[in-house]
Structure 1
């Protein structure tokens, strides 16, 4: 596949201006010493999956073994908040996505997704907890018995300004589920924060917002109002998609663009939305965020995506109306191993969660690292 150029002249000029400007972000406000390009906050985690900046100005992290912790972003002090007792961690399953209520001070709710043993196999559920006194309680199940497996479980969570909760689900290794409207597998789901189905969802009495997905692990709402996702392909066509209400993204009949006879036959009978960017061979994309700060100017106004297999951050530039990606830039290539997740503070501080150097690494040596600047 043809690649887009990695570095543009605009990025080089902005980088030079930033390093020469004496910006306060390049020095430690306490000592005046230069800030390290990277800083390891925690290095004893077991497969961190979700990393978010909380409204309490702490980092919140899930580990696939069921642990939820808060991390002081300055000292790295880690506080275990709760361990979900019935999480089943098999392969890629376990405790996955998490999001906090936007009005956390008055509504201290924590939403998480985890897999559990359903008797005849793995299942997945979306739940709400209440946070108080540095622990969680009052587990409330919002959606249960979502198909799960040792791989392809999703699951990224996002709360939009209009207080709807979006959730990505995987096909649980059963490709038929993605086109099955009676299954929640291989979909993007949309619900109210109390677990009810929004009246304006595209399919009557259904959580399903979009279908035809394989395993989306990144989800971000851009300031332009578009909802972007990153999705794992099989051996080809990892994707970036724009998620739209009621639309079909083609899996398993369509991978990436509609460019083979079989894909064209399927699309002739089913309206399919094509991805806006693809990677072949696959790179294993994970979290997706939009960076608006000038703190790291190389990333300003770009989609940032963490990558597992190819062990990097990719910065993606959108065109003016957000319908296409015009540039791809690679950063931190191979420096920290597999990169699972990324969190951004309101001040533009960047934190990443690592997942070891190889697939299946479940050791307690995974890290949370702060990226302060890009070294050339």
Structure 2
């Protein structure tokens, strides 16, 4: 079995209805507040005003290394804890409640339980997706909150660094996956490796129809370590990427493009158009960009080493304006940024990951309401 076809179907369990998870009232709310397709979230975010960064609301505290964050139909969020494999349900005004634990998580270095995504058809099928580091590789599973995980894609090389990990459903209903080179930069240019890529899968983990190469999950290549994926209201996909020593990046992602790593770091196409240059670059000391969210024609980038939130205006043609630093040194390392169904911006800190200065109550989840 090749790496690209590296998935298998495991055992499924009896569906626990969404009513048992959140109550029948929430199901009714889900039908009106949260449509099935992820594109609806982008459309809602476009209608909502920008988040008020001067009005922070603490949603949760004392969360151990939060990484993935994905919203349920009722507007609450599932939050992954990298080191333990635990997933908690988090909502404003209530204490976090653990609702699942992913078995087989091996948390070393930057590995562990990483990205989360909720099925576009969650109300119908109850599926949650997770990207995590196992004993032999990085892999993707799906599960219902009362059932066993089913591996749908495996064989992504793991290491103590550059495991990627962000997953998200696109407006087309396909699952997009940001991977890292796992410390071997040559993998990023190898079309037979899933590492150093953005992958595009169908909901069962198979290469999605319409991919650049039939029967391959590879959507784009030449990436060092992708940790942020987000779409604007028109369906354009952007990604954040860690550089090595000089430049971090934001890229506009288009199928079949090669983003240059390890031949190029930052801008500098030396091969006559073979590589696609980033739209934005920073010095690595200012960013280490992880989570990415888009709302109100603005990109919001959570910076780890930079310990700030970058806001970047978006032009009508998809190009980007000048980045501005917000929340500098206020919360420490920022890992994940997500726009909620109501247009609010949620951020998670990452000060308990062994690289930050732990502050009282770390780690936090913070909400900034839409204006």
Q: So what's the TM-score if we normalise by structure 1? A: 0.80
- Give the structure 1 partner of residue 232 of structure 2: 222
Q: Tell whether 2:371 aligns with 1:353.
A: no
Cα drift, residue 105 of structure 1? 1.0
Q: Tell whether 2:310 aligns with 1:320.
A: no
User: Does the aligned pair in 2 maintain the 1:68–1:80 contact within 8 Å?
Assistant: yes
User: Does the aligned pair in 2 maintain the 1:158–1:165 contact within 8 Å?
Assistant: yes
1:341 to 331, 336, 343: 336
Q: Tell whether 2:275 aligns with 1:272.
A: yes
1:127 to 141, 144, 153: 141
Q: Tell whether 2:109 aligns with 1:69.
A: no
Per-residue deviation, residues 161-197 of structure 1 (Å, max 9, x unmatched): 2211100100001111101112111000001101122
Q: How does 1:94-173 map to 2 (within 5 A)?
A: 94-118=112-136, 123-131=137-145, 135=146, 137-173=147-183
Q: Which runs of 4+ in 1 moved over 6 A?
A: none
Cα drift, residue 359 of structure 1? 4.9
- Give the structure 2 partner of residue 285 of structure 1: 289
Q: So what's the TM-score if we normalise by structure 2? A: 0.81
Per-residue deviation, residues 66-119 of structure 1 (Å, max 9, x unmatched): 11110122x13111011122101101100000100122111210010000112x
User: Does the aligned pair in 1 maintain the 2:352–2:363 contact within 8 Å?
Assistant: no
- Please give the alpha-carbon distance, in whole angstroms, between the structure 1 residues aligned to 2:337 and 2:94: 16
Change (3 A) 1:357 1:191: closer
Cα drift, residue 45 of structure 1? 1.0
- Give the structure 2 partner of residue 55 of structure 1: 73
Cα drift, residue 356 of structure 1? 1.2
User: Does the aligned pair in 2 maintain the 1:337–1:357 contact within 8 Å?
Assistant: no
Per-residue deviation, residues 122-168 of structure 1 (Å, max 9, x unmatched): x100111123xxx4x13111111211111101111111222111001
- Give the structure 1 partner of residue 19 of structure 2: none
- Please give the alpha-carbon distance, in whole angstroms, between the structure 2 residues aligned to 1:344 and 1:126: 23
Larger Rg: 1
Cα drift, residue 371 of structure 1? 2.5
Unaligned runs of 5+ in 1: 1-22, 27-34, 293-300
- Give the structure 1 partner of residue 367 of structure 2: 370
Q: Secondary structure at the match of 1:351?
A: strand
Judge which range, 48-57 or 106-115, deviates more: 48-57
- Please give the alpha-carbon distance, in whole angstroms, between the structure 2 residues aligned to 1:36 and 1:143: 41
User: Does the aligned pair in 1 maintain the 2:88–2:96 contact within 8 Å?
Assistant: yes
The CA RMSD over aligned residues, in Å, is 2.3
Q: Which structure features the higher share of strand residues?
A: 1
Using CA pairs under 8 Å that are at least 6 residues apart, name the structure with larger relative contact order, 1 or 2.
2
- Give the structure 2 partner of residue 7 of structure 1: none
Cα drift, residue 342 of structure 1? 1.8
